[in-house]
Amino acid sequence: MKRIFSVLVENRSGVLWKVAGLFSRRGYNINSLAVGETDDSHVSMMTILSSGSEQTLEQIEKQLNKKLDVIKVKTFDESRAVTRELMLMKVKYNKTNRREIMEICEVMGAEIVDMSETLMMLQICSTPEKIQLMISMLAQVSIVEVARTGTLALQKCMED
């Protein structure tokens, strides 16, 4: 069972480490983790995608709430959230596959954000599933480097 944890934390040094440490010490999974400041510079939002049994997921929420740097924990299913991930990808191209790469980008809604004579940097912002699809679509051309943000998620507006 998968679950998204939106964790508001004090924006202090060491907080990311404490939260990540809690997951490793208690053997909880982190499938994805993304952190950034919120509109309040004293507060950061950590978006953690985790999986486990119902009981484990409940414990994760309780243990997160016990951390004194944690302000608020919200949990929800992926189906109740809008999820997005940003990926930057560098690929090697040549005359024969250049067209094909550009077509894939067009279909997937990716952009070419940088280029040299042999390399292209692509950017895509989409759901984690689509990002995965993009990677597999481009697997046959040679991927040089990939950087992903990890999943960001907010609960859908209707249910807030």
Q: Which long-range contacts (CB under 8 A, 24 or more apart) does 145-149 make?
A: 145/89, 145/90, 146/87, 146/88, 146/89, 146/90, 147/87, 147/88, 147/89, 148/85, 148/86, 148/87, 149/34, 149/85, 149/86, 149/87
Q: Pick between residue 10 and residue 100 the one whose CB is nearest to other proteins.
A: 10
Q: Which residue of 37, 58, 103, 129 would you call a contact of other proteins, by CB under 8 A?
A: 58
- We find the least distance from the C-beta atom of residue 52 to other proteins, in angstroms, to be 14
- Going by the DSSP 8-state scheme, the letter that residue 14 receives in this structure is T
Site for other proteins in 118-137 (CB under 8 A): none
Q: Is 117 in the site for other proteins (CB under 8 A)?
A: no
* Contact by Cβ (8 Å): 131, 124: yes
Q: Which residue of 21, 99, 114, 115 would you call a contact of other proteins, by CB under 8 A?
A: 21
Q: Is 143 in the site for other proteins (CB under 8 A)?
A: no
Cα torsion through 126, 127, 128, 130, rounded to 10: -70
Site pattern 22..41 for other proteins (x: CB under 8 A): ---x----------------
Q: Pick between residue 13 and residue 79 the one whose CB is nearest to other proteins.
A: 13
Number of residues that bind other proteins (CB under 8 A): 18
Q: Is 157 in the site for other proteins (CB under 8 A)?
A: no
Dist. CA 86–CA 128, nearest whole Å: 9
Considering only the stretches 60-68, 126-134, 135-143, 145-153, report the one whose residues sit in contact with other proteins under the rule CB under 8 A: 60-68
Site for other proteins in 62-81 (CB under 8 A): 62-63, 65-71
Q: How far does Cα 1 stand from its chain's mean position? A: 18
Binding site for other proteins (CB under 8 A): 10, 14, 17-18, 21, 25, 55, 58-59, 62-63, 65-71
